[in-house]
């Protein structure tokens, strides 16, 4: 297998990973927004779940940023 094909395969994998991470991030963002309903009384907010999801969101965002950086590096090597 040529080196270029190997990089193209790695690029496709990273792009799929980034797409999956982005969908998960969007889902968590929407869920957190729903939990933190501005019209709900403070007593009824489920802050434990919101905090847990916010932590997961931050972790996924770090992974997403890394994936995007790897995609950019692979594209640079491929001359794209």
How does pLDDT run across 59-79, given as a tens digit for each residue?
A: 999 999 999 999 999 999 999
Q: Give the CA radius of gyration of the chain.
A: 18
- Nearest CA to 49 out of 36, 60, 62 is that of 36
Q: Percent of the chain having pLDDT more than 90?
A: 92
Q: Are 35 and 50 in contact (CB under 8 A)?
A: yes
Predicted pLDDT at 1: 66
Task: Report how far apart the first and last C-alpha atoms of the chain are (Å, whole number).
Answer: 20
50: left (phi over 0), alpha (psi -120 to 50) or beta: alpha
Global pTM reads 0.87
Question: Is it the case that residue 12 has pLDDT exceeding 80?
Answer: yes
């Amino acid at each position: 297998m040529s080196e270029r094909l190997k990089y193209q395969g790695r690029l496709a994998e990273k792009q799929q990973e980034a797409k999956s991470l982005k969908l998960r991030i969007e889902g968590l963002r929407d869920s957190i927004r729903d939990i933190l309903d501005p019209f709900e009384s403070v007593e009824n907010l489920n802050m434990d779940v919101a905090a847990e999801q916010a932590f997961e969101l931050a972790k996924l965002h770090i992974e997403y940023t890394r994936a995007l950086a790897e995609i950019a590096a692979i594209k640079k090597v491929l001359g794209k």
